[in-house]
Amino acid sequence: MEQGEFYDAALGARTQSLFRDVNERVKEINSAFAEHLPLGDWVCECADNACTERIALTSQAYEAVRADPKRFIVAPSDDHVFEEIEDVVERTERFWVVEKEGPAGELAAKVDPRRIGLRGSEEAMHSQDGGDVTVFRSLSSAEDGAGGR
Q: Would you give the binding string for other proteins spanning residues 4-43, x where CB under 8 A is met?
A: ----------x--xxx-xx--xx-xx-xxxxxxx---xxx
Positions 45 through 64 that interact with other proteins (CB under 8 A) = 49, 52, 54
Closer CB to other proteins, residue 89 or residue 127? Answer: 127
Enter the DSSP assignment of 45.
Answer: -
Residue type present at position 136:
F
Closest Cα to residue 81, out of 57, 29, 50, 45? 45
- Residue 109 binding other proteins, by CB under 8 A: no
Residue with Cβ nearer other proteins (83 or 143):
143
User: Whole-angstrom Cα distance, residue 147 to residue 149?
Assistant: 7
Alpha-carbon span 15 to 52, nearest angstrom: 12
- Of 45, 53, 34, whose CA–CA distance to 71 is shortest? 45
Q: Tell me which residues touch other proteins (CB under 8 A).
A: 14, 17-19, 21-22, 25-26, 28-29, 31-37, 41-43, 49, 52, 54, 111, 113, 118-120, 130-131, 133, 136-140, 146
